[in-house]
Structure 1
Amino acid sequence: MLIESKQNKRVKNWRKLHKKKYRDQEGLFLIEGWHLIEEAMKSDWMIDELIVLEGIEYPESWDSYNLTFVTKPVFNEIAQTESQQGVLAVVKQQIHGEQKLGQKLLLVDTVQDPGNVGTIIRSALAFNADAVILGQGSVDLYNDKVVRATQGGLFHVPVINGGDLSQWITHCHTHNINIYATALDDQAMPLQDVEPNGTYAIIVGNEGEGVDSGLINEANETVYIPIAHESESLNVGVATSIVLYHFSQAT
């Protein structure tokens, strides 16, 4: 099937997926480009539909999916990247139950920059975290810039979108998971003094304000990354990567 009109109802519905309200309502989101689509196909996420620019060559295996072809003007209406590759997919959102999330958790408190959240998810995958919980006030997981920044990582590590971090802290205390909040207070331990034991809940915070004081009070320990005095404070994505690497070194 070839869609040629930007006024087509399906085209309008795809465009609506750029808005969080509609994504949440439909339980769907868009991904763009070969790499993200390939990563989705390698995972257990369900691809609802593939959208291909007419004339683009694609793998024969794609014929087993719900496949729709569109003209260049229609593709331009849907796509959001400047260097378009001519392929898009509509993917069903996933909901993860806490019983499957393991004992190596990363709690993200109101981190609002899409690039930072994407980096955090990639690092969680790289350093074997069991799950990421994006707290209320953080940027939406299915924001197109977040999705691109994860480089496909969101398809391979469970992410709770918009979770109540106080409830997750209760979950951690109930399951004897030590909670470490990143902070720059006088009581915080240097990261290298923390001995990883294979289980943890790490809380990282907002770009400007850090972790909420109420969450810090619920943590077992606060930790910080020693840096040279001449340096600015670390970007939250970079800092999270360093902390996750340290905790991945449990013997």
Structure 2
Amino acid sequence: MRKLEGYISSAANPRVKEWAKLLDRKYREREGKFLLEGVHLVKEALDARWSLEVVAFDEGSEVADQFASYMDEVEEAEHGPSWVPVSPDVIAKCSGTETPQPIFAVALKRPPERDALFGEDRALVAVLDGVQDPGNVGTIVRSAAACGATAVVLGKGTADLYNPKTIRATMGALFHVPVLEADLSELLPEARQNGAAVAGTSLQSSRSCYDYDFRGRGVWLVFGNEGSGMSACVSELVDDNLIIPMSGRAESLNVAMAATVLLFEAQRQRLG
């Protein structure tokens, strides 16, 4: 049985202070760690065998009952997280929400998997160019995982994947699709050199996404900033601009919605 550590009651405890610092991006980047908040995300991480350092839970709640099977797993001493009972004050200190759930985990970042980008002949890659809203970024990661995309690439100006808001929006999908940060001015030409098509979205385009061929080769779909679209330098690296036809009255779609439509159109064609 996984050893349970001693109860921590004070939010001023040195370990708690270290955990709480992970709410800050600079500290996350320095330590290579991030926080997972809530029952669903912690279970998703455990089921995916993601490296977790600590799982802290409110001892006064019944949440531990939901994780009894995980705590009872027989593992080697050096593997698996430490399970730490804590007070509600500790939970609140390490949460980015006003009404925190009674459990969180400290997770370890994984190194970028560049092989995922060029290891498949018909890769489907979602590329984010300056998508600033964490909710949009998390939703696109979730859609990419759901349709079996090869990877998601976060370009300059895009919200941090490990922002608590982004992670919540992924609903655990970040454990099921590789997500990398990269300089798009370098990576997109490399994708083209490897035979992939690079396509973007534009309201000025006349080419319907439903007329585009997603089947013949790898496709990298680029989605730009919520207000200004793709940056000028990235636009120059796009082979085709696509539009999502709309028969009703709306100026445009939210970037996460547009990404979902295109990713699932690619899936439809490839499975059809």
Superposed pair shares fold, TM > 0.5: yes
From 103, 110, 129, the counterpart of 1:87:
103
**Do the aligned partners of 1:216 and 1:222 also contact (CA within 8 Å) in 2?**
no
Verify: 1:172 aligned to 2:181, yes or no.
Answer: no
**SS of structure 1 residue aligned to 2:56:** strand
- Cα distance in 1 between the residues matched to 2:71 and 2:100: 19
Q: Are residues 207 and 155 of structure 1, via their aligned partners in 2, closer, same or farther at CA, if it must alter by over 3 Å?
A: same
Question: For residues 238 and 220 of structure 1, what CA distance do their matches in structure 2 show?
Answer: 22
Give the one of 215, 220, 245 matched to 1:201: 220
RMSD: 1.6
Query: Secondary structure, in 3 states, of the residue corresponding to 2:89?
Result: helix
Secondary structure, aligned partner of 2:55 = strand
* Aligned residue among 32, 44, 55 for 1:39: 44
- Which residue, 141, 144, 168 being the options, matches 1:148? 168
Q: State the match for 1:62 in structure 2.
A: 71
1:215 to 215, 224, 234: 234
Instruction: Give unmatched runs, 5+ long, in structure 1.
Output: none
1:129 partnered with 2:149:
yes
Deviation sequence 1:73-111 (CA, Å, 0-9, x none)? 222211223343311000001122311234211110000
Change (3 A) 1:195 1:100: closer
2:8 alignment partner AA:
I
CA positional deviation for 1:229: 6.1
Between stretches 211-220 and 5-14, larger displacement belongs to 211-220
Letter in 1 for 2:54: E
Correspondence for 2:116 among 93, 100, 119: 100
Distance in 2 separating the partners of 1:63 and 1:16: 30
Secondary structure of the 1:128 match is: coil
**Structure 2 match to 1:10:** 15
1:238 to 2:257 alignment: yes
Are the structure 2 counterparts of residues 20 and 63 from structure 1 closer, same or farther at C-alpha, using a change threshold of 3 Å? Answer: farther
Deviation track 1:155-176 (CA, whole Å, cap 9, x = no partner) reads 1111013x21122202211210
**Is contact 2:91-2:100 (8 Å) kept?**
no
CA drift at 1:63: 5.1
**Structure 1 residue ranges, 4+ long, deviating more than 3 angstroms after superposition:** none
Number of corresponding residues: 249
State the SS of the aligned residue for 1:230.
Answer: coil
- Quick one: which of 75, 85, 93 aligns to 2:91? 75
AA paired with 1:47? Answer: L
TM-score (norm 1): 0.94
CA distance in structure 1 between the partners assigned to 2:96 and 2:237 by the alignment: 41
* Identity over aligned pairs, percent: 37
